[in-house]
Chains A and B, each alone.
Chain A
């Protein structure tokens, strides 16, 4: 036995007892089982035949002693055959019918005690008797079988109903493990049941398998084929939900697998589907809840960061308003005010980026003069980053694009900020604007740093931060991810351009420019 009753099996392996010894033992047990069933059937028939024969002999003795004539005794034998058919099987009933015919011939037709017959009419009557008794036997047996089958069907339906009730009572989110399989085994008297779930690759088994049911269930899923092995009484069915194979369920020792396995499989598939639907709904609910927390957290952060900054700015402003500051003190007040204001802008930008990270970006398009917007940003960053030289090269003509100015500002600001942040002091940051067909390309590059080849593909991933970046500067790992998201929402693109030189990093942002006819309408 590869597993004791009620033990879940992981995807990696089965119980400790395996190999040839196990196979031989299993075969021996099965043969024993089948021989036992066969002998049991034969003995049962013989017993019924014997009882029927004794009753026939008794009837013959009584009727012979009482000198009951041939015509009167026939219905009594017929009654015996009918009673025999109602209790025994067809074999024993047929034996009793033939024996009754022989007894009638021997004891009630002339000449007595001989199988010969003086009157051909008696022969005809005996022939009619044997035919009638066999037909009755056959009919009665069939009726009994049908009644038995109907009873079985009713029982099966009842068990299915009970099974469905018990399974539906389980936690819909729980894995389809021991608790799930046990009702199958208990209600249908199955030796072992196993289930293989494709999503988790987990195999569970309850019961006492002799046929390595777990492996067969998993193999059936892998091969994409159902299995019906009558000799070993193993049936495996694949589980399909929504047109997709989601696993397999195996039964060992299931009575009438042709009748039952389909229904059990359909029920399991429905419950598996319910579990998947429940998990999907739970995930969606969890995501919605996370989003509520996240939004509340961002609001709280905005409040917690900006209120102290507002206090600093109000305080510095008050100092200046109060007068009597020396020129030097005035300069310091200016520095405090400017840095606090800058910290405020930075906080706003970070929080806006964090918000955009999880929102569907819907740009509010308007005609934007990209050239002058980028020039303004370059001037601002140039004033701020005194130890980086920021140069802007632009084409002959000012370039306009249909875009959301706030989002474009955020995106280009992020690129310039990155170029300053990740380059060495004294580096040169260049911004180039170029009209390329239907797009405007804004290239922001810096010298004196590089992005390792193995990190290049990952830098646009959410929360990804390169090795050097993690060591050298602080950051959220959201900036480039959100910037690319904004570019894509505009129908544009944001890519890293790798050139020949190893010490230069260039990001290229492309935004669609307006088509001439559209621009005409917009500027009319």
Chain B
């Protein structure tokens, strides 16, 4: 029972981690909370759904398609809703309001046009169960978890090894200096959002396969924000750790205490972290330079 709960927790944790990474990435570079992230996840799911049902594509292409689609949507989102604010050095309050506006707009556009019906992905993983040390885990959960690990590892390699990745890390430290060193800030930020969108797309597809696709599914991203705070805002390994921990702990509460109180519990966990350890597990302690 314990192992089973752990495994289930890890698999949902993997999806939380995927969601949290995109959010943390934007936060670490641009220092603001992109509350529209949930909407991009939702749109990624819908794109994947369209590819899977209308064009009957296989899982690999569906993921690729939603990665591309969500990535583009994220870049457009930045261009239209954030870039002029960023250039004006508007306070983060304005950016958060704009982000929320995007989220509400996109979600309700989908609601109004496509409708509130819940859609299901085709059975990509079948009903196959794997047996792991006496516990059973579905192929989907296994796949989601492994994919999350692989994707985040890939991102880590990208950021530490490639030129663009190094530019991103430079941007995290000092945006202005970065541009003074000749980095094209607009392009760099576009890349960051592209990456964040890509992760959102994948997360959306897995969420959609595991549960269902519907306009307000993006609000599950709340969990992503909580995971990011637990892991430490702005830290990518933190997003992974936070996501997994939240997933596991939530599932344990759900199984051993009460499944209904799951959301109350995540909120309490968030508050506990904010009281005891606001920088999360791996976050950086930022003292604002005056």
Report whether chain A binds chain B.
Answer: no
Report B's interface with A, CB cutoff 8 A: none
Report A's interface with B, CB cutoff 8 A: none
